[in-house]
Structure 1
Amino acid sequence: MTRNHHDTTRIDWAEMAPMLERGAELGIPLYRQAAAWLGELTPPATVRRILDVGSGPGVLTTLLAQTFPYADVVAVDAAPPLLERARARAERLGLADRVQTVCAELPGDVATLGEADLIWAGNALHHIGDQRAALAGFARLLRPGGLVALVEGGLTERHLPRDIGLGRPGLESRVEAARAEWFTEMRAELPGAARETEDWRALLAAAGLTPGGARSFLLDIPAPVTPAVREHLHTVFTRTRDALEGRLADDDTAVLDRLLDPEDPQGLARRPDVYLLAAHTVHTARRG
């Protein structure tokens, strides 16, 4: 039975939690660089309260707590299963006394979050329908001199060579195009969704903030990868296969099925050429 596209744009955060946590853990080298850069922009001794908006399972929440040792860090998310993981992670790392979790829907609940010296929103704003309202809310929450850091854009993850010896060359480029259509539909279905030109510097300025610098950080895990990376990629491709059902040509879907077959010698479990390459861009702005 063919599913309606609307069914595939719904995100089950509880189901995705393990993938999100593993992915963020693999990206820790990238995020450490980004957090260190923020520490140069805002001296850690001056940061007393941080909001991690769209915290997910808390990998960045705890990293921010380690980078800014004088700060209380609040993990903010609308998905209770993800916040449960964030709390458990903070406890495992001995940070439970400095890490809180708050379940909130943005932009509606933004005023309940309290003031902050630093607001980190990592790939979260594109899940909020009214992005301008969210940014205006961030601006109101920032203390004088406070910094907001948005992770949006960069480069889409790549995992395979252009020609993998199966099907037509360029599979990941076609997957990326189909995912872009999925993303557009997902955003259109968000409450209060409004289309915006993704000029983050201009949007931050429109919120009353003073835009600062932007930097991109690279995650580069070349082949051959570890079993942990292979496991993560299998989960990512499974999610991609399900989300893009009906959006890809039949021959590309057949290739994805082969890649996901653990017994196929050309599958992800056995290929020697799989890798993980991505870049994330951090946009900053300050309250005067």
Structure 2
Amino acid sequence: MSQQHHHSAHEHHHHADDSHGPDEGLSQILDLDAEILEASLSAVHADIAALIDGPVRRILDLGAGTGTGTFGLLHHFADAHAVAVDGSSDMLEHLRRQAEGLGLADRTTTVHADLDEGVPELDLVDLAWASGSLHHLADPDRTLAQVAAAIRPGGLLAVVELTGHPRFLADDAPGAAAEAKAHELLAVDRTVDMPAMGSDWGARLARAGLVVELDRPIVVDLAPPLPDVAGAYAFAILTRIRGAVVERLGADLDDLDDLDRLLDGGPSDVRHRSDLHVRTQRQLLIARRPASR
């Protein structure tokens, strides 16, 4: 998909532009995000399985990134083959390496495509998957209509959309004010860079001719003690947020210093703290292409 502004701290994969080379920080965030959300995503897979009409043999992952969504679905639907579409050749190369390591290379096909230029023409799929990708689109309604046409009658589209960035510190914890300030600045960017974020996705899916059969929040609220992956996840995301807002946050040196202490390797560094509290929320929608469409 088309290059978006750099301000997004953890926005997904597919928007990377090949001319900028690999984005190892974003790749790491996507892989860590899948670890943090493992239980929640397993529940999503169960929701899909409960609603699907017939076998799942062809899956389309729109904005596949490092392939965490692709691989989760392939593990759940053992007879399926997945087509992973992304606008970054670097992400797709990462995905192919991961597929080899997981023994899923023969069940995975990659397609390099910018979804703003159109959904690739493929055989009809039983299940389309879009996780954190729709809000990057220049014209989500146009693309969703094309996605709907790529799904077999009776098949499903599962959408997982961000409702905000993960938070890691309790309100009264050291550094929490700086984290909150950085998120405020990021939210301002979002209204410019990604105006579709926070859309009424149910209405957009309906306009595409799909029938929404499930619409629920995915709430992640992980209290301490947490595994080491939580610290690595917090460090990766806060590092990216800092890069996005540092020039404006620098106007208040106290906030900048407080944010830097969360990342400097010292006792306040999120990788070394025992008081991390991971909170994030997504929205899940599962919609069906009517059999009569």
Normalised by the size of structure 1, how large is the TM-score?
0.86
Q: Which residues of structure 1 form unaligned runs of 5+?
A: 1-5, 189-194
Find the residue that maps to 2:206 and give its secondary structure: helix
Residues 234 and 271 in structure 2, CA contact (< 8 A), matched pair in contact too:
no
In the other structure, the counterpart of 1:47 is 56
Of the three residues 166, 172, 187, the one matched with 2:179 is: 172
1:57-110: CA deviation from partner (whole Å, max 9, x where unpaired): 011101101111121111111111111121122222221111111111013230
Of the three residues 146, 151, 156, the one matched with 1:142 is 151
Give the number of equivalent residue pairs.
273
* Secondary structure, aligned partner of 1:152: strand
Which residue number corresponds to residue 65 of structure 2? Answer: 56
Question: What residue in structure 1 maps to residue 12 of structure 2?
Answer: none
Whether the 8 Å CA contact 2:83–2:110 is kept in 1: the answer is: yes
Does structure 1 retain, via aligned residues, the 8 Å contact 2:156–2:288? yes
**1:222 Cα shift?**
2.0
| Aligned position for 1:192 | none
Q: Structure 2: 5+ residue runs without aligned partners?
A: 9-14
Which residue does 1:78 correspond to in 2?
A: 87
Contact kept in structure 2, 1:59 and 1:89, CA below 8 Å: no
Residue 207 of structure 1 is matched in structure 2 by 208
Q: 1:259 aligns with which of 251, 262, 266?
A: 262
Map Cα deviations across residues 196-222 of structure 1 (whole Å, 9 max, x no partner): 871111111111112221122233332
**1:123 alignment partner AA:** G
1:147-179 C-alpha deviation (Å, 9 max, x unpaired): 11111144542210102235xx64433322211
Query: 8 Å contact 2:144–2:205 — kept in the other structure?
Result: yes
TM-score by length of 2: 0.85
- Structure 1 Cα separation of the partners of residues 170 and 126 of structure 2: 43
The correspondence of residues 102-251 of structure 1 with structure 2, limited to 5 A, is 102-154=111-163, 156-166=165-175, 170-187=177-194, 198-248=199-249, 249-251=252-254
Contact 1:154 1:216 in 2 (8 A): no
Residue type of the partner of 2:31? E
**Match for residue 104 of structure 2 among 77, 95, 112:** 95
Q: Is the contact between residue 33 and residue 217 of structure 1 (CA under 8 Å) also seen in structure 2? A: no
Give the alignment's Cα RMSD to 1 decimal. Answer: 2.2
Whether 1:25 aligns to 2:35 is yes
Alignment counterpart, residue 271 of structure 1, candidates 263, 273, 279: 273
Partner of 1:67: 76
Q: After superposition, give the CA deviation of every residue in 1:229-280 in whole Å (9 maximum; x if it has no partner).
A: 21221111111101112233432222111111112x2222332211222222
Give yes or no for contact 1:121–1:149 (8 Å, CA) kept in 2: yes
**Structure 1 CA distance for aligned equivalents of residues 120 and 83 of structure 2:** 14
Shift of 1:25: 2.5
- For 2:49 and 2:71, locate their aligned partners in 1 and report how far apart those are by CA, in whole Å: 15
1:242 and 1:216 mapped to 2: Cα distance?
29
